[in-house]
Amino acid sequence: MVKQAAEVDLRPPPRRPFGVYVLVVLLLLGVFAAALEIARARTELLGFWATAEELLRDRSGLVSLADRLFVDPDVLTVVNGLIITVWVLVIIGMWLLQRWAWLVLMIATGVTLTFALYRYFEGQPDYFGMLVNVAVAFYLNDRNVQHAYARRSPVEPA
């Protein structure tokens, strides 16, 4: 009986885990939701845009939280502008595998999950949003993702 050697994949692991692409798309949806919320606060949205804004606002934790906390359209515009700015910076940081972006996204996921639990006990559960945020939290804690976003020591001169 001849034993065959097990095939070993010697290719280096990809630099950017696949889930980062999914996270970037989700964050871009958050940017779009905040932009639609700004448009809603400033003008009256009609048709498709009104439906899309309502759906995304209910599904986007931070935008929905801002909508509950602030009533004044000017303040709501500023807060959503800050959300857009932070999300764009986090998208860039996630793409460049920066540890701070991982940390900001993990904190935002925790805040969003806490708000989702509040909504659940209030009688307005968002099961899909909870599922997505729990999946994001588990994914960010995956060993390969942790390795990709690990702190890097400065390169010592040769």
Q: Mind listing the pLDDT tens digit for each residue in 19-44?
A: 889 999 988 988 888 887 777 766 77
Name which of 83, 143, 76 is nearest 111 in CA terms. Answer: 83
Tokens of 25: 């798309």
pLDDT at 147 exceeding the cut of 50:
yes
Domain boundaries, the chain: 18-148
Residue 158 reports pLDDT greater than 50: no
94 and 20 Cβ atoms separated by less than 8 Å = yes
pLDDT, averaged across the chain: 81
* Predicted pLDDT of residue 104: 94
Q: What angle do CA 75, 54, 119 make, to 5 degrees?
A: 80
Record the tokens describing residue 82, joined without a space: 């800050």
Whether the Cβ atoms of residue 26 and residue 132 lie closer than 8 Å to each other: yes
